[in-house]
Structure 1
Amino acid sequence: MTGGTIQTHPRQWPLGTSTALFPGGLTEERLVEAKAAGIECLEFMAKAGSAQGDDDYDFLADRARELGMSVWSVHLPFGRDRDISSTDAEVRRLWIEQNTQIMERAVKWGVAKAILHPSYEPISADERPERMRHAMDSLRRLADEADRLGVQIAVECLPRTCLGNTSEEILDLLDAHPSLGVCCDVNHLLHETPQAFIEAVGPHIVSLHISDYDGLDEKHWLPGRGVIDWNAVLRALARAGYDGPFMYEVVNRKTEEAEPITPQRLAEVWVSLKESYDRDN
Protein backbone atom coordinates (compact mmCIF):
# COMPACT_ATOMS: atom_id res chain seq x y z
CA MET A 1 0.00 0.00 0.00
CA THR A 2 1.18 3.50 -0.78
CA GLY A 3 1.00 5.67 2.31
CA GLY A 4 1.87 4.90 5.91
CA THR A 5 2.67 6.43 9.27
CA ILE A 6 5.99 8.05 8.32
CA GLN A 7 5.55 11.65 7.21
CA THR A 8 6.69 12.36 3.68
CA HIS A 9 7.43 15.56 1.76
CA PRO A 10 5.93 16.77 -1.54
CA ARG A 11 9.40 16.91 -3.06
CA GLN A 12 9.50 13.11 -2.80
CA TRP A 13 6.44 12.67 -5.02
CA PRO A 14 7.10 12.17 -8.73
CA LEU A 15 5.08 14.29 -11.14
CA GLY A 16 2.39 12.58 -13.18
CA THR A 17 -0.53 13.32 -15.46
CA SER A 18 -3.60 11.54 -16.71
CA THR A 19 -3.93 11.17 -20.47
CA ALA A 20 -7.17 13.14 -19.99
CA LEU A 21 -4.94 16.21 -20.41
CA PHE A 22 -4.54 15.52 -24.12
CA PRO A 23 -7.50 16.29 -26.42
CA GLY A 24 -7.82 13.40 -28.82
CA GLY A 25 -5.66 11.17 -26.64
CA LEU A 26 -2.00 10.48 -26.00
CA THR A 27 0.42 10.28 -28.95
CA GLU A 28 4.13 9.57 -29.15
CA GLU A 29 4.79 13.26 -29.77
CA ARG A 30 2.83 14.24 -26.67
CA LEU A 31 4.62 11.56 -24.67
CA VAL A 32 7.99 13.04 -25.62
CA GLU A 33 6.68 16.51 -24.73
CA ALA A 34 5.57 15.26 -21.31
CA LYS A 35 8.94 13.68 -20.63
CA ALA A 36 10.74 16.90 -21.58
CA ALA A 37 8.56 18.82 -19.10
CA GLY A 38 9.53 16.51 -16.24
CA ILE A 39 6.50 14.20 -16.18
CA GLU A 40 7.61 10.87 -14.72
CA CYS A 41 4.35 8.95 -14.33
CA LEU A 42 1.26 8.47 -16.47
CA GLU A 43 -2.31 7.39 -15.94
CA PHE A 44 -3.84 5.77 -19.01
CA MET A 45 -7.57 6.36 -19.45
CA ALA A 46 -8.96 3.05 -20.69
CA LYS A 47 -10.95 4.04 -23.74
CA ALA A 48 -13.39 1.21 -24.31
CA GLY A 49 -15.68 -1.28 -22.65
CA SER A 50 -12.98 -3.89 -23.12
CA ALA A 51 -9.23 -3.96 -23.53
CA GLN A 52 -9.56 -4.26 -27.31
CA GLY A 53 -9.88 -0.49 -27.72
CA ASP A 54 -6.51 0.21 -26.09
CA ASP A 55 -4.13 -1.22 -28.68
CA ASP A 56 -2.12 2.00 -29.03
CA TYR A 57 -1.37 1.95 -25.30
CA ASP A 58 0.76 -1.17 -25.79
CA PHE A 59 3.12 0.84 -27.99
CA LEU A 60 2.94 3.97 -25.83
CA ALA A 61 3.70 2.04 -22.64
CA ASP A 62 6.79 0.56 -24.28
CA ARG A 63 7.83 4.00 -25.51
CA ALA A 64 7.28 5.49 -22.05
CA ARG A 65 9.62 2.91 -20.54
CA GLU A 66 12.24 3.73 -23.18
CA LEU A 67 11.97 7.38 -22.10
CA GLY A 68 12.37 6.51 -18.43
CA MET A 69 8.70 7.05 -17.56
CA SER A 70 6.23 4.66 -15.96
CA VAL A 71 2.54 3.93 -16.42
CA TRP A 72 1.52 4.20 -12.79
CA SER A 73 -2.20 3.61 -13.19
CA VAL A 74 -5.07 2.78 -15.50
CA HIS A 75 -8.41 4.53 -15.09
CA LEU A 76 -11.11 1.94 -15.65
CA PRO A 77 -14.06 3.17 -17.78
CA PHE A 78 -17.22 4.49 -16.16
CA GLY A 79 -20.75 5.44 -17.20
CA ARG A 80 -24.39 4.53 -16.79
CA ASP A 81 -23.90 1.11 -18.40
CA ARG A 82 -20.50 0.69 -16.72
CA ASP A 83 -21.63 0.83 -13.11
CA ILE A 84 -20.49 -1.77 -10.59
CA SER A 85 -23.33 -0.71 -8.25
CA SER A 86 -26.09 -1.28 -10.83
CA THR A 87 -29.25 -2.98 -9.64
CA ASP A 88 -29.06 -5.09 -12.81
CA ALA A 89 -27.05 -8.21 -11.99
CA GLU A 90 -26.13 -8.76 -15.64
CA VAL A 91 -24.67 -5.25 -15.92
CA ARG A 92 -22.57 -5.89 -12.82
CA ARG A 93 -21.41 -9.30 -14.07
CA LEU A 94 -20.46 -7.93 -17.49
CA TRP A 95 -18.62 -4.97 -16.03
CA ILE A 96 -16.64 -7.07 -13.56
CA GLU A 97 -15.61 -9.25 -16.50
CA GLN A 98 -14.63 -6.31 -18.71
CA ASN A 99 -12.74 -4.51 -15.95
CA THR A 100 -10.82 -7.71 -15.30
CA GLN A 101 -9.90 -7.91 -19.00
CA ILE A 102 -8.65 -4.33 -18.93
CA MET A 103 -6.54 -4.98 -15.84
CA GLU A 104 -5.05 -8.05 -17.51
CA ARG A 105 -4.04 -5.86 -20.45
CA ALA A 106 -2.78 -3.10 -18.16
CA VAL A 107 -0.38 -5.46 -16.38
CA LYS A 108 1.62 -5.46 -19.62
CA TRP A 109 1.90 -1.68 -19.33
CA GLY A 110 3.43 -2.03 -15.88
CA VAL A 111 0.58 -0.42 -13.95
CA ALA A 112 0.52 -0.50 -10.16
CA LYS A 113 -3.01 0.84 -9.61
CA ALA A 114 -6.41 0.50 -11.27
CA ILE A 115 -8.61 3.53 -10.57
CA LEU A 116 -12.27 2.59 -10.21
CA HIS A 117 -15.48 4.60 -9.80
CA PRO A 118 -17.74 2.85 -7.27
CA SER A 119 -20.91 4.03 -9.07
CA TYR A 120 -22.55 6.24 -11.62
CA GLU A 121 -25.49 8.52 -10.74
CA PRO A 122 -28.05 9.79 -9.83
CA ILE A 123 -28.58 7.70 -6.73
CA SER A 124 -31.52 8.48 -4.45
CA ALA A 125 -31.34 8.21 -0.68
CA ASP A 126 -33.82 5.32 -0.74
CA GLU A 127 -31.76 3.17 -3.11
CA ARG A 128 -28.38 4.07 -1.64
CA PRO A 129 -28.10 1.13 0.80
CA GLU A 130 -28.84 -1.40 -1.96
CA ARG A 131 -26.39 0.28 -4.34
CA MET A 132 -23.72 0.22 -1.63
CA ARG A 133 -24.25 -3.53 -1.18
CA HIS A 134 -23.91 -4.15 -4.91
CA ALA A 135 -20.82 -1.93 -5.15
CA MET A 136 -19.14 -3.71 -2.26
CA ASP A 137 -19.87 -7.13 -3.73
CA SER A 138 -18.40 -6.00 -7.07
CA LEU A 139 -15.37 -4.49 -5.34
CA ARG A 140 -14.77 -7.75 -3.49
CA ARG A 141 -14.79 -9.71 -6.74
CA LEU A 142 -12.65 -7.21 -8.61
CA ALA A 143 -10.13 -6.94 -5.78
CA ASP A 144 -9.70 -10.71 -5.86
CA GLU A 145 -8.92 -10.48 -9.58
CA ALA A 146 -6.58 -7.54 -9.03
CA ASP A 147 -4.71 -9.46 -6.32
CA ARG A 148 -4.24 -12.31 -8.77
CA LEU A 149 -2.74 -9.87 -11.29
CA GLY A 150 -0.56 -7.97 -8.83
CA VAL A 151 -2.53 -4.72 -9.21
CA GLN A 152 -4.21 -2.68 -6.48
CA ILE A 153 -7.66 -1.22 -7.03
CA ALA A 154 -7.97 2.39 -5.88
CA VAL A 155 -11.58 3.38 -5.22
CA GLU A 156 -12.08 6.97 -6.32
CA CYS A 157 -14.01 9.47 -4.21
CA LEU A 158 -16.82 10.92 -6.33
CA PRO A 159 -19.04 14.03 -6.31
CA ARG A 160 -22.75 14.77 -6.01
CA THR A 161 -24.96 11.69 -5.41
CA CYS A 162 -22.36 9.10 -6.47
CA LEU A 163 -21.26 6.47 -3.99
CA GLY A 164 -18.08 7.39 -2.16
CA ASN A 165 -18.88 11.10 -1.95
CA THR A 166 -17.67 11.40 1.67
CA SER A 167 -14.77 10.02 3.67
CA GLU A 168 -17.20 7.99 5.78
CA GLU A 169 -18.70 6.29 2.75
CA ILE A 170 -15.31 5.65 1.16
CA LEU A 171 -14.19 3.92 4.36
CA ASP A 172 -17.35 1.80 4.28
CA LEU A 173 -16.56 0.76 0.69
CA LEU A 174 -13.03 -0.24 1.70
CA ASP A 175 -14.52 -2.81 4.08
CA ALA A 176 -15.32 -4.89 0.99
CA HIS A 177 -11.73 -6.17 0.68
CA PRO A 178 -8.48 -5.67 2.63
CA SER A 179 -6.38 -4.87 -0.45
CA LEU A 180 -8.48 -1.90 -1.62
CA GLY A 181 -7.00 1.60 -1.55
CA VAL A 182 -8.32 5.07 -2.33
CA CYS A 183 -7.77 7.46 -5.20
CA CYS A 184 -8.29 10.94 -3.75
CA ASP A 185 -9.73 13.25 -6.40
CA VAL A 186 -9.54 16.57 -4.62
CA ASN A 187 -11.95 18.31 -7.02
CA HIS A 188 -14.73 15.80 -6.33
CA LEU A 189 -15.15 16.60 -2.64
CA LEU A 190 -18.34 18.60 -2.18
CA HIS A 191 -19.32 17.59 1.38
CA GLU A 192 -15.98 18.19 3.13
CA THR A 193 -12.74 19.93 2.28
CA PRO A 194 -10.04 17.92 0.52
CA GLN A 195 -7.76 18.25 3.54
CA ALA A 196 -10.50 16.99 5.89
CA PHE A 197 -11.06 14.00 3.62
CA ILE A 198 -7.34 13.24 3.54
CA GLU A 199 -7.07 13.49 7.32
CA ALA A 200 -9.97 11.04 7.70
CA VAL A 201 -8.88 8.50 5.08
CA GLY A 202 -5.15 8.95 5.66
CA PRO A 203 -2.87 6.05 4.71
CA HIS A 204 -5.57 4.36 2.61
CA ILE A 205 -4.83 6.93 -0.11
CA VAL A 206 -2.68 5.24 -2.74
CA SER A 207 -3.12 7.60 -5.69
CA LEU A 208 -4.30 11.11 -6.51
CA HIS A 209 -6.28 13.06 -9.07
CA ILE A 210 -5.10 16.66 -8.83
CA SER A 211 -7.08 19.62 -10.16
CA ASP A 212 -8.95 22.63 -8.83
CA TYR A 213 -12.64 23.51 -8.63
CA ASP A 214 -15.12 26.10 -7.36
CA GLY A 215 -16.27 24.03 -4.37
CA LEU A 216 -19.70 23.58 -5.96
CA ASP A 217 -18.98 20.96 -8.59
CA GLU A 218 -16.04 19.23 -10.26
CA LYS A 219 -14.16 21.41 -12.77
CA HIS A 220 -10.75 19.77 -13.35
CA TRP A 221 -9.09 23.19 -13.47
CA LEU A 222 -5.40 23.89 -13.13
CA PRO A 223 -4.45 24.38 -9.44
CA GLY A 224 -4.66 28.02 -8.42
CA ARG A 225 -7.77 28.82 -10.40
CA GLY A 226 -10.24 27.54 -7.83
CA VAL A 227 -10.77 27.45 -4.07
CA ILE A 228 -8.56 24.59 -2.87
CA ASP A 229 -6.08 25.42 -0.10
CA TRP A 230 -3.10 23.66 -1.65
CA ASN A 231 -0.75 24.10 1.30
CA ALA A 232 -3.33 22.41 3.53
CA VAL A 233 -3.83 19.58 1.03
CA LEU A 234 -0.10 18.93 0.65
CA ARG A 235 0.38 19.09 4.43
CA ALA A 236 -2.40 16.55 5.01
CA LEU A 237 -0.98 14.20 2.37
CA ALA A 238 2.53 14.47 3.81
CA ARG A 239 1.27 13.77 7.34
CA ALA A 240 -0.64 10.74 6.03
CA GLY A 241 2.60 9.37 4.63
CA TYR A 242 1.55 9.58 0.98
CA ASP A 243 4.40 8.55 -1.30
CA GLY A 244 2.84 8.08 -4.74
CA PRO A 245 2.83 10.45 -7.70
CA PHE A 246 1.40 13.95 -7.73
CA MET A 247 -0.97 12.88 -10.50
CA TYR A 248 -2.76 15.64 -12.35
CA GLU A 249 -6.20 15.04 -13.83
CA VAL A 250 -6.58 18.43 -15.47
CA VAL A 251 -8.79 18.63 -18.56
CA ASN A 252 -8.29 20.99 -21.49
CA ARG A 253 -11.58 22.62 -22.41
CA LYS A 254 -11.51 25.07 -25.31
CA THR A 255 -14.41 27.08 -23.91
CA GLU A 256 -12.64 27.71 -20.58
CA GLU A 257 -8.94 28.17 -21.22
CA ALA A 258 -7.38 31.02 -23.19
CA GLU A 259 -4.45 28.75 -24.05
CA PRO A 260 -4.14 24.96 -23.93
CA ILE A 261 -2.72 23.54 -20.71
CA THR A 262 0.55 21.82 -21.57
CA PRO A 263 2.74 19.38 -19.63
CA GLN A 264 5.20 22.25 -19.18
CA ARG A 265 2.47 24.31 -17.52
CA LEU A 266 1.64 21.41 -15.18
CA ALA A 267 5.30 21.21 -14.19
CA GLU A 268 5.53 24.96 -13.57
CA VAL A 269 2.47 24.90 -11.31
CA TRP A 270 3.89 21.93 -9.39
CA VAL A 271 7.14 23.82 -8.77
CA SER A 272 5.11 26.79 -7.54
CA LEU A 273 3.02 24.62 -5.20
CA LYS A 274 6.13 23.03 -3.68
CA GLU A 275 7.78 26.41 -3.18
CA SER A 276 4.66 27.75 -1.47
CA TYR A 277 4.51 24.65 0.74
CA ASP A 278 8.14 25.07 1.78
CA ARG A 279 7.54 28.71 2.73
CA ASP A 280 4.48 27.76 4.78
CA ASN A 281 6.09 24.81 6.55
Structure 2
Amino acid sequence: MFNPQMGVSLHTLSFDINDSLVELVSKSGIKTLELFSRLFLENTDRVKAQIHKFDKNALRVATIHSDFWGADISSADDEAREKSIQSAFFSIELAVEFGASAIVLHSSKEPIAPEERSIRKKYAADSLRIVSEQAASKGKKIAVELLPRTCLGNTVEELFELTQGLSEDAVGFCLDTNHLMDKPFMLPDVAKTLGKRLIATHLSDYDGVDEKHQVPGTGVIEWGPFMEALKEIDYQGPFNFECRFADTDDIAARIAMLESSYKMLAGYL
Protein backbone atom coordinates (compact mmCIF):
# COMPACT_ATOMS: atom_id res chain seq x y z
CA MET A 1 0.00 0.00 0.00
CA PHE A 2 1.26 3.46 -0.92
CA ASN A 3 2.17 5.07 2.40
CA PRO A 4 4.70 7.83 1.68
CA GLN A 5 7.23 8.76 4.34
CA MET A 6 8.86 12.18 4.16
CA GLY A 7 12.34 12.16 2.63
CA VAL A 8 14.85 14.83 1.66
CA SER A 9 18.01 15.28 -0.37
CA LEU A 10 20.24 16.25 2.54
CA HIS A 11 22.47 18.62 0.57
CA THR A 12 19.44 20.82 -0.19
CA LEU A 13 19.23 21.62 3.51
CA SER A 14 22.96 22.19 3.91
CA PHE A 15 26.29 21.16 2.42
CA ASP A 16 27.81 21.48 5.88
CA ILE A 17 27.05 18.16 7.56
CA ASN A 18 27.51 19.07 11.22
CA ASP A 19 26.03 18.22 14.62
CA SER A 20 23.42 20.96 14.36
CA LEU A 21 22.11 19.62 11.05
CA VAL A 22 22.01 16.06 12.39
CA GLU A 23 20.03 17.23 15.43
CA LEU A 24 17.54 19.29 13.41
CA VAL A 25 16.89 16.48 10.93
CA SER A 26 16.63 13.88 13.68
CA LYS A 27 13.96 15.90 15.51
CA SER A 28 11.94 16.51 12.33
CA GLY A 29 9.41 14.43 10.45
CA ILE A 30 12.05 13.33 7.93
CA LYS A 31 12.24 9.54 7.65
CA THR A 32 14.51 8.96 4.63
CA LEU A 33 17.58 10.66 3.19
CA GLU A 34 19.19 10.97 -0.20
CA LEU A 35 22.93 11.66 0.02
CA PHE A 36 24.72 13.50 -2.79
CA SER A 37 28.07 11.82 -3.42
CA ARG A 38 29.84 15.18 -3.61
CA LEU A 39 29.22 15.62 0.12
CA PHE A 40 32.01 13.08 0.61
CA LEU A 41 34.67 14.48 -1.72
CA GLU A 42 36.27 16.55 1.06
CA ASN A 43 36.69 15.65 4.73
CA THR A 44 35.35 12.23 3.80
CA ASP A 45 35.86 10.52 7.16
CA ARG A 46 34.32 13.42 9.10
CA VAL A 47 31.24 13.57 6.87
CA LYS A 48 30.76 9.81 7.05
CA ALA A 49 31.02 9.95 10.84
CA GLN A 50 28.30 12.61 10.92
CA ILE A 51 25.97 10.55 8.74
CA HIS A 52 26.50 7.53 10.98
CA LYS A 53 25.18 9.61 13.91
CA PHE A 54 21.64 9.36 12.56
CA ASP A 55 19.52 6.78 14.37
CA LYS A 56 19.09 4.03 11.79
CA ASN A 57 15.92 2.87 13.51
CA ALA A 58 14.29 6.26 12.99
CA LEU A 59 15.82 7.51 9.74
CA ARG A 60 16.99 5.53 6.71
CA VAL A 61 19.45 6.44 3.96
CA ALA A 62 17.35 5.46 0.94
CA THR A 63 19.39 6.61 -2.06
CA ILE A 64 22.77 7.95 -3.07
CA HIS A 65 22.75 10.56 -5.83
CA SER A 66 25.83 10.05 -7.97
CA ASP A 67 27.78 13.14 -9.03
CA PHE A 68 26.24 15.06 -11.92
CA TRP A 69 28.29 18.25 -11.61
CA GLY A 70 31.61 16.89 -12.76
CA ALA A 71 30.57 13.53 -14.22
CA ASP A 72 29.09 12.55 -17.57
CA ILE A 73 28.75 8.85 -18.38
CA SER A 74 27.85 9.76 -21.99
CA SER A 75 31.04 11.72 -22.65
CA ALA A 76 32.71 11.11 -26.00
CA ASP A 77 36.06 11.46 -24.24
CA ASP A 78 37.13 7.98 -23.14
CA GLU A 79 39.08 9.20 -20.11
CA ALA A 80 36.28 11.48 -18.92
CA ARG A 81 33.71 8.73 -19.40
CA GLU A 82 35.81 6.25 -17.41
CA LYS A 83 36.23 8.77 -14.58
CA SER A 84 32.47 9.24 -14.56
CA ILE A 85 31.92 5.49 -14.31
CA GLN A 86 34.37 5.35 -11.41
CA SER A 87 32.44 8.20 -9.78
CA ALA A 88 29.29 6.08 -10.01
CA PHE A 89 31.22 3.15 -8.50
CA PHE A 90 32.08 5.44 -5.57
CA SER A 91 28.36 6.09 -5.10
CA ILE A 92 27.74 2.35 -5.05
CA GLU A 93 30.29 1.96 -2.26
CA LEU A 94 28.52 4.72 -0.33
CA ALA A 95 25.24 2.86 -0.82
CA VAL A 96 26.83 -0.26 0.63
CA GLU A 97 28.23 1.62 3.63
CA PHE A 98 25.00 3.44 4.48
CA GLY A 99 22.52 0.75 3.49
CA ALA A 100 20.90 2.66 0.62
CA SER A 101 18.96 0.53 -1.82
CA ALA A 102 19.62 2.53 -4.99
CA ILE A 103 21.96 4.95 -6.72
CA VAL A 104 20.35 7.81 -8.67
CA LEU A 105 22.22 8.46 -11.90
CA HIS A 106 22.07 11.01 -14.72
CA SER A 107 22.59 9.69 -18.26
CA SER A 108 24.36 12.86 -19.41
CA LYS A 109 25.15 16.50 -18.90
CA GLU A 110 23.98 19.15 -21.36
CA PRO A 111 23.69 20.58 -23.93
CA ILE A 112 23.74 17.74 -26.44
CA ALA A 113 23.56 18.72 -30.11
CA PRO A 114 21.16 16.75 -32.34
CA GLU A 115 23.99 15.46 -34.52
CA GLU A 116 25.80 13.87 -31.58
CA ARG A 117 22.79 12.46 -29.76
CA SER A 118 22.98 9.00 -31.30
CA ILE A 119 26.61 8.31 -30.37
CA ARG A 120 26.15 9.86 -26.92
CA LYS A 121 23.21 7.53 -26.31
CA LYS A 122 25.44 4.60 -27.18
CA TYR A 123 28.11 5.72 -24.71
CA ALA A 124 25.49 6.31 -22.02
CA ALA A 125 23.86 2.92 -22.56
CA ASP A 126 27.25 1.18 -22.38
CA SER A 127 28.07 3.04 -19.16
CA LEU A 128 24.69 2.26 -17.62
CA ARG A 129 25.27 -1.42 -18.31
CA ILE A 130 28.66 -1.32 -16.59
CA VAL A 131 27.37 0.62 -13.59
CA SER A 132 24.23 -1.50 -13.22
CA GLU A 133 26.28 -4.69 -13.24
CA GLN A 134 28.56 -3.30 -10.54
CA ALA A 135 25.56 -2.18 -8.49
CA ALA A 136 23.86 -5.56 -8.83
CA SER A 137 27.02 -7.31 -7.67
CA LYS A 138 26.69 -5.32 -4.43
CA GLY A 139 22.96 -5.95 -4.09
CA LYS A 140 22.01 -2.43 -5.23
CA LYS A 141 19.90 -0.91 -8.00
CA ILE A 142 20.43 2.14 -10.17
CA ALA A 143 17.65 4.67 -10.71
CA VAL A 144 18.14 6.48 -14.02
CA GLU A 145 16.70 9.98 -13.70
CA LEU A 146 14.29 11.63 -16.12
CA LEU A 147 16.16 14.78 -17.19
CA PRO A 148 15.12 18.06 -18.88
CA ARG A 149 15.94 19.95 -22.07
CA THR A 150 18.53 18.26 -24.34
CA CYS A 151 19.86 15.83 -21.72
CA LEU A 152 19.75 12.15 -22.55
CA GLY A 153 16.75 10.48 -20.97
CA ASN A 154 14.50 13.52 -21.33
CA THR A 155 11.49 11.36 -22.24
CA VAL A 156 10.16 8.09 -20.87
CA GLU A 157 10.73 6.51 -24.26
CA GLU A 158 14.40 7.47 -24.24
CA LEU A 159 14.83 6.19 -20.67
CA PHE A 160 13.54 2.83 -21.86
CA GLU A 161 15.84 2.98 -24.89
CA LEU A 162 18.93 3.74 -22.80
CA THR A 163 18.23 0.83 -20.46
CA GLN A 164 17.03 -1.68 -23.04
CA GLY A 165 18.34 -5.16 -22.30
CA LEU A 166 19.30 -4.35 -18.71
CA SER A 167 17.78 -6.35 -15.89
CA GLU A 168 14.66 -4.78 -14.42
CA ASP A 169 15.80 -6.20 -11.09
CA ALA A 170 18.89 -3.98 -11.28
CA VAL A 171 17.64 -0.89 -13.11
CA GLY A 172 14.70 1.40 -12.39
CA PHE A 173 13.95 5.10 -12.79
CA CYS A 174 13.84 8.33 -10.79
CA LEU A 175 11.10 10.84 -11.58
CA ASP A 176 12.01 14.48 -10.95
CA THR A 177 8.75 16.40 -11.00
CA ASN A 178 10.47 19.55 -12.34
CA HIS A 179 12.05 17.90 -15.33
CA LEU A 180 8.98 17.73 -17.55
CA MET A 181 9.40 21.50 -17.67
CA ASP A 182 6.42 23.00 -19.53
CA LYS A 183 4.47 19.72 -19.47
CA PRO A 184 3.77 19.22 -15.75
CA PHE A 185 0.29 17.98 -16.66
CA MET A 186 1.96 14.80 -17.94
CA LEU A 187 3.28 13.80 -14.51
CA PRO A 188 0.47 11.35 -13.66
CA ASP A 189 0.77 9.59 -17.02
CA VAL A 190 4.56 9.42 -16.74
CA ALA A 191 4.31 7.87 -13.28
CA LYS A 192 1.82 5.29 -14.56
CA THR A 193 3.98 4.48 -17.59
CA LEU A 194 7.04 3.92 -15.43
CA GLY A 195 4.91 1.82 -13.10
CA LYS A 196 6.79 -0.65 -10.95
CA ARG A 197 10.08 0.54 -12.45
CA LEU A 198 9.68 3.89 -10.70
CA ILE A 199 11.91 3.44 -7.65
CA ALA A 200 12.86 7.01 -6.67
CA THR A 201 11.41 10.52 -6.75
CA HIS A 202 12.68 14.08 -6.61
CA LEU A 203 9.73 16.20 -5.52
CA SER A 204 9.57 19.92 -6.24
CA ASP A 205 7.19 22.38 -7.86
CA TYR A 206 7.48 24.09 -11.24
CA ASP A 207 6.94 27.82 -11.65
CA GLY A 208 5.60 27.60 -15.21
CA VAL A 209 8.72 29.23 -16.65
CA ASP A 210 11.94 27.47 -15.68
CA GLU A 211 13.42 24.67 -13.59
CA LYS A 212 13.37 26.31 -10.15
CA HIS A 213 12.70 23.31 -7.88
CA GLN A 214 10.27 25.18 -5.66
CA VAL A 215 8.69 23.59 -2.60
CA PRO A 216 5.58 21.59 -3.66
CA GLY A 217 2.47 23.70 -3.30
CA THR A 218 4.11 26.95 -4.41
CA GLY A 219 4.00 26.42 -8.18
CA VAL A 220 1.74 25.23 -10.99
CA ILE A 221 1.83 21.44 -10.59
CA GLU A 222 -1.52 19.82 -9.80
CA TRP A 223 -0.47 17.45 -7.04
CA GLY A 224 -3.76 15.61 -6.53
CA PRO A 225 -3.65 13.66 -9.82
CA PHE A 226 0.05 12.92 -9.32
CA MET A 227 -0.53 11.53 -5.83
CA GLU A 228 -3.40 9.44 -7.17
CA ALA A 229 -1.08 8.07 -9.86
CA LEU A 230 1.51 7.07 -7.26
CA LYS A 231 -1.26 5.38 -5.31
CA GLU A 232 -2.48 3.57 -8.43
CA ILE A 233 0.95 2.08 -9.16
CA ASP A 234 1.47 1.37 -5.44
CA TYR A 235 4.72 3.33 -5.41
CA GLN A 236 7.08 1.99 -2.75
CA GLY A 237 10.23 4.08 -3.26
CA PRO A 238 11.40 7.09 -1.26
CA PHE A 239 9.10 10.12 -1.25
CA ASN A 240 12.04 12.46 -1.56
CA PHE A 241 11.95 16.26 -1.64
CA GLU A 242 14.69 17.91 -3.72
CA CYS A 243 13.99 21.64 -3.45
CA ARG A 244 15.75 24.97 -3.58
CA PHE A 245 15.12 27.54 -0.88
CA ALA A 246 15.63 31.03 -2.26
CA ASP A 247 13.94 32.79 0.64
CA THR A 248 15.85 31.45 3.63
CA ASP A 249 19.19 29.99 4.67
CA ASP A 250 17.76 28.85 8.00
CA ILE A 251 17.76 25.05 8.13
CA ALA A 252 14.94 24.81 10.66
CA ALA A 253 12.78 27.04 8.45
CA ARG A 254 13.58 24.92 5.40
CA ILE A 255 12.58 21.76 7.24
CA ALA A 256 9.35 23.40 8.41
CA MET A 257 8.50 24.32 4.81
CA LEU A 258 9.02 20.72 3.73
CA GLU A 259 6.97 19.35 6.62
CA SER A 260 4.08 21.64 5.66
CA SER A 261 4.39 20.59 2.02
CA TYR A 262 4.49 16.91 2.95
CA LYS A 263 1.31 17.33 5.01
CA MET A 264 -0.36 18.99 2.03
CA LEU A 265 0.61 16.15 -0.32
CA ALA A 266 -0.41 13.44 2.13
CA GLY A 267 -3.80 15.14 2.39
CA TYR A 268 -4.59 14.06 -1.17
CA LEU A 269 -4.61 10.39 -0.12
Normalising by structure 1, what TM-score? Answer: 0.87
1:211 aligns to 2:223 (yes or no): no
The one-letter code of the counterpart of 2:52 is D
Q: What's the RMSD between the two structures over aligned residues?
A: 2.0
**SS of residue paired to 1:244:** coil
Contact 1:13 1:246 in 2 (8 A): yes
Q: Indicate whether 1:238 and 2:231 are aligned.
A: yes
Which residue number corresponds to residue 171 of structure 1? 160
Q: Indicate the structure whose relative CO is greater, using CA pairs within 8 Å and at least 6 residues apart.
A: 1
Structure 1 residues 128 and 37: alpha-carbon distance in aligned structure 2, compared to 1, 3 A threshold: same
Counterpart position of 1:131: 120
| Kept after mapping to 2: 8 A contact 1:83/1:118 | yes
How many aligned positions are there? 263
The answer for the alignment partner of 2:18 in structure 1 is: 27
User: What fraction of aligned residue pairs are identical, expressed as a percent?
Assistant: 33
Match of 1:162 among 142, 151, 154: 151
Q: Distance in 2 between matches of 1:196 and 1:53?
A: 42
Whether the 8 Å CA contact 1:19–1:42 is kept in 2: the answer is yes
**CA distance, structure 2, for counterparts of residue 23 and residue 252 of structure 1:** 11
| Alignment partners' CA distance in 2, 1:269 and 1:135 | 35
Kindly state the Cα deviation for residue 53 of structure 1 after the two structures are TM-superposed: 5.4
Partner of 2:52: helix, strand, or coil?
A: helix
Unaligned ranges ≥5, structure 2:
none
Which blocks of at least 5 consecutive residues in structure 1 are unaligned? 1-7
Match for 2:245 among 218, 243, 252? 252
C-alpha deviation, 1:52, in angstroms: 6.2
For 1:69-108, list aligned pairs within 5 A: 69-79=59-69, 81-108=70-97
The one of 228, 235, 256 aligned to 1:264:
256
Post-superposition shift, 1:67? Answer: 6.3
Q: Could you tell which deviates more after superposition, 257-266 or 118-127?
A: 257-266
CA distance in structure 2 between the aligned counterparts of 1:73 and 1:54, rounded to whole angstroms: 18
Structure 1 position 55, deviation (Å): 2.9
SS of the residue corresponding to residue 33 of structure 1 reads helix
TM-score normalized by structure 2?
A: 0.90
